[in-house]
Amino acid sequence: MKAYAFDYVRAKTLDEALSLLERAGDGGKLIAGGQSLVPALNLRLLGPKLLIDIAHLSELRGITNDESSIHLGAGTRHVELATSPLIGQHLPLLQTAIRHVAHAAIRNRGTLGGNLAHADPASELPACMIALEAVMHVVGPKGERHIDAADFFKGLYETALEADEILVRIAIARCPADTRFHFNELARRAGDYAMAGLAMVMHGTPGHGLRIRPVFFGIGDRPVLASQAARCLEQATHMMDALADAQQALLHDLQPQDDLQADPETRMQLAQVLLKRGLADLMAQGRG
Ligand SMILES: Cc1cc2nc3c(=O)[nH]c(=O)nc-3n(C[C@H](O)[C@H](O)[C@H](O)COP(=O)(O)OP(=O)(O)OC[C@H]3O[C@@H](n4cnc5c(N)ncnc54)[C@H](O)[C@@H]3O)c2cc1C
C-alpha cells in the first residue's frame, strides 16, 4: 500500500516548526526519524495533509549535563545514546535498554523524542524514563511546560502532548552514587517488541532508606510503576525475603492485557519472573 498524498516541509528552526504545526491544525504531523510514522503512513493508518520534518533542528540535538541533571535533546538518535560516554557513565540503564530497541538500521534513524511521543506500550525507553523520574520539556504556542514521565504516558499510543506541541528535551536528575540499574525483557525474537519487560532503578540499603522503582512495560496499555511491589521491597530488611509478597503485589499493580502474543495470566507470570530475576541482578551488583 502507498501513503495518501501529503505536502512536506523541512523546518529550519523550532519556531518555524511550531508555527507550521499550529497553522496546519489537525492536518499537520511531525516527522523525526520516521521509523514509526512512515510504516503508519504506508499502511494508511494516518493521512496527514502536511509532514513537518524536525530531524535537522539543532534545538532538539545534543546530550549535555550540568551539576544537577543530564539533558537529552528529543532529536537524539538511538545510536547516539547507545554510544555516548556520558550516558554510559551516568545512565547505563538507557544503553542496556537500547540494545533491545528494534535493529541497528532503525536505531540509526529513530529518535528518543519520536520513540517517547509514539508511546508504544511495549517500548523500552518510556519505562526507563519513568524509572529514572525523567522530566519532559515540551513547547507549544502557549510556551514551555514540564511534564513528569509518570504523567506523560496516557494510554495506547497516547501522551500528554497537545497536537500543537513539540517535545524538545528530556531532563534526568543525576542519580545518587550508589544507584543500581536493571533492565530485562522477554520477547519472542531479538529486536521484537517485548511481551513483558522491566526497567528498575534502586539506591540505598535494604532496611535503611532503600528506594526502588520497578517499571513494567509490554504488559498493559502504558508503562506502569509497580508501586505496591516497590513498597514491599522498601520495607523489608532483606529484599529477597520480600520477593513473594512483592510478586503477589504485582496482581494489584498491573492489569495485563490479552493479545495475539500472550494472555493476561502468561503476562503476569512473566512479570513475576522478571521481578525475581531483576532483584537477583540488583543484589549481585551490590556484591560485585
Ligand atoms: C521493524 C521495527 C521494529 C521496531 N522495534 C522497536 C522496539 O523493539 N522498541 C521500540 O521502542 N521501538 C521500536 N521501533 C520503533 C523505533 O524505535 C522508532 O525509532 C521510534 O518509535 C520512533 O522514533 P522516530 O524518530 O523514528 O519517530 P517518527 O516515526 O518520526 O515519529 C513517531 C511519532 O512521534 C511524533 N514525534 C516525533 N518526534 C516528536 C517530537 N520531538 N515531539 C512531538 N512529537 C514527535 C511523530 O509525529 C509521530 O507521531 C521499531 C520500528 C520498526 C520499524
Domain ranges for the chain, please list them.
7-53, 60-173, 180-287
Could you tell me the fold of the domain covering 60-173? 3.30.465
Phi/psi for 111 (5° steps) reads -110, 160
Query: Whole-prediction pTM value?
Result: 0.97
C-alpha of residue 114 to centroid of ligand 1, in Å = 4
For residues 250 and 284, the answer to whether their CB atoms sit within 8 Å is no
E strand spans, the chain: 7-10, 28-31, 50-53, 63-65, 69-73, 135-140, 143-148, 153-155, 158-159, 166-173, 180-186, 196-205, 208-217, 224-225
The pLDDT of residue 191 = 67
Q: How does pLDDT run across 265-286, given as a tens digit for each residue? A: 999 999 999 999 999 999 999 7
The residues, ordered by sequence, that sit 6+ positions from 214 with a Cβ below 8 Å of its Cβ are: 131, 198, 199, 200, 225, 226, 229, 230, 233, 275, 278
Q: How many CA atoms are closer than 13 Å to the CA of 222, on its beta-carbon side?
A: 20
CA-closest residue to ligand 1 atom 43: 166
- Are the beta carbons of 212 and 143 closer than 8 angstroms? no
CATH number of 7-53: 3.30.43.10
Q: Which ligand 1 atom minimizes the distance to the CA of 74?
A: 41
Interval between CA 123 and ligand 1 midpoint (Å): 10
Contact 181, 172 (CB under 8 A): no
Of 95, 282, 70, 69, nearest in space to 180 by CA: 282
- Each residue of 208-238: pLDDT tens digit? 889 999 999 999 999 999 999 999 999 998 8
Q: Which pLDDT score, from 0 to 100, does residue 288 have?
A: 52
Residue with cell 541482578: 281
Query: Pick from 207, 206, 205, 184: which is nearest to 195 by CA?
Result: 184
Question: Which segments in the chain show pLDDT lower than 70?
Answer: 191, 287-288
Distance 211 CA to ligand 1 centre (A): 31
Terminal CA-CA length for the chain: 53
pLDDT at 222: 97
Closest-CA residue to 239 (of 196, 284, 274): 284
Q: Give the binding-site residues of ligand 1, using a 6 Å CB cut-off.
A: 29-37, 39, 54, 74, 101-102, 106, 110-111, 113-115, 117-118, 120, 123-125, 161, 166-167, 193
So what's the pLDDT on residue 86? 97
| Contact (Cβ atoms closer than 8 angstroms) between residue 78 and residue 112 | yes
Rounded to an integer, what distance in angstroms lies between the CA atom of residue 182 and that of residue 118? 24
> Ligand 1 mean position to 47 CA, how many Å?
17
Which residues have C-beta within 8 Å of that of residue 262, sequence separation ≥ 6? Answer: 195, 196, 256, 270
For residue 123, what pLDDT is reported? 94
For ligand 1, mutation pick of 37, 46, 57, 193 (most atoms within 8 Å of CB): 37
> What are the backbone dihedrals phi and psi of residue 26, each rounded to the nearest 5 degrees, phi first?
-60, -20
Q: How far apart are CA 45 and CA 74, in angstroms?
A: 24
**Which CATH superfamily groups domain 180-287?**
CO dehydrogenase flavoprotein, C-terminal domain (3.30.390.50)
Quick one: cell of 237?
Answer: 530488611
**Contact between 196 and 274 (Cβ < 8 Å):** yes
